[in-house]
Amino acid sequence: MAPPRAYIAAMNAQQSPLAFAKMHGAGNDFVVIDSRPRAGGVVTAELARAIGDRHRGVGFDQLAELRSSDAADLDLDFWNSDGSRAGACGNATRCVAAAVMDATGRDRLTIRTARGFLRAERRGVQVWVNMDAPILEWQGVPLASAVDLLHLPLPGDPVAVGMGNPHCIHFVPDADAAPVAARGAEVEHDPLFPEATNVEFASLIAPDHLRLRVWERGTGITLACGSGACATAVAAHQRGLTGRRVVIAADGGTLEVDWRDDGVWLTGPVAHVFDGVFTPEFLAGET
């Protein structure tokens, strides 16, 4: 679907191409658009869907848009490939933080997202992001009714955790054998989750080491999920399976989560793959 005409007119009026970067964190891939030089954000649901098409666009698990902020170092918005908004995205936040730190030489940033104000800091070669405290009450996840978050009334005895977006975590004997596609698609839209949910399948490899596979709402199976890793680490500790610092083996790489008193910290690999510019034809919906 083509972006709205008003968007095209605004782009033409600025006489400037729309540039982007392709990045990934442990295989969780993103298109990153820096809208700070422009007046307001430029991404719409229609444009996000067009860019997210892996055959006719670029393709991504999430799109991250940087915007100027009057309260933080930058504002950051997230979009799913189906054009819906994502409230939180840990790996995209890490990627953006690493890119901004590299460009500015800074080691600390404050980033405002729909989740709230997140802190990012460089520790040696790693960039850590504080994804804030987990949401452990049913209204905030959100759920449709008051239930035991540690033992949801769903098949598989999953756990619910909110990280600015909802998560439904299943602890299974072997995550590699879990029916991620079938069960993930089913649970995503279960009535218990009025805003749909991300769905995780985790198994214990060793003390404080988990194997994780993820179905993300609005996207499907992804190679990693930062907020999902955080939610899974929180759930594992609550279930008595691990401590508060956990290594998580996702399909696309290894993430580390450290649940501290000041929030849930996340780190892992970051890669800047390439830069590009969208053609006028693409923006006009002619490709």
Query: What token pair was written down for 237?
Result: 């500790």
* β 271-278/263-267 pair status: unpaired
In the residue annotation, 230 being an active-site residue is answered as: no
In the residue annotation, 225 being an active-site residue is answered as: yes
* β 74-80/108-113 pair status: parallel
Q: What DSSP string runs through 26-47?
A: TTEEEEEEE-TTSSS----HHH
Catalytic residue among 89, 95, 168, 230: 89
Catalytic residue among 95, 168, 225, 230: 225
For residues 286 and 63, give the distance between their C-alpha atoms in angstroms, rounded to a whole number. Answer: 21
Which of 108, 166, 136 has the alpha carbon at shortest distance from 259? Answer: 136
Residue type (1 letter), 253: G
Long-range Cβ pairs for the range 107-112 (8 Å, 24+): 109/73, 109/74, 110/72, 110/73, 111/72, 111/73, 111/74, 111/75, 111/76, 112/69, 112/71, 112/72, 112/74, 112/75, 112/76
For residues 138 and 149, give the distance between their C-alpha atoms in angstroms, rounded to a whole number. Answer: 7
If DSSP codes are grouped into helix, strand and coil, which group holds residue 150?
Answer: coil
Query: What token pair was written down for 45?
Result: 């649901």
If DSSP codes are grouped into helix, strand and coil, which group holds residue 231?
Answer: helix
For residues 72 and 91, give the distance between their C-alpha atoms in angstroms, rounded to a whole number. Answer: 19
If DSSP codes are grouped into helix, strand and coil, which group holds residue 104?
Answer: helix
Active site residues per annotation: 89, 225
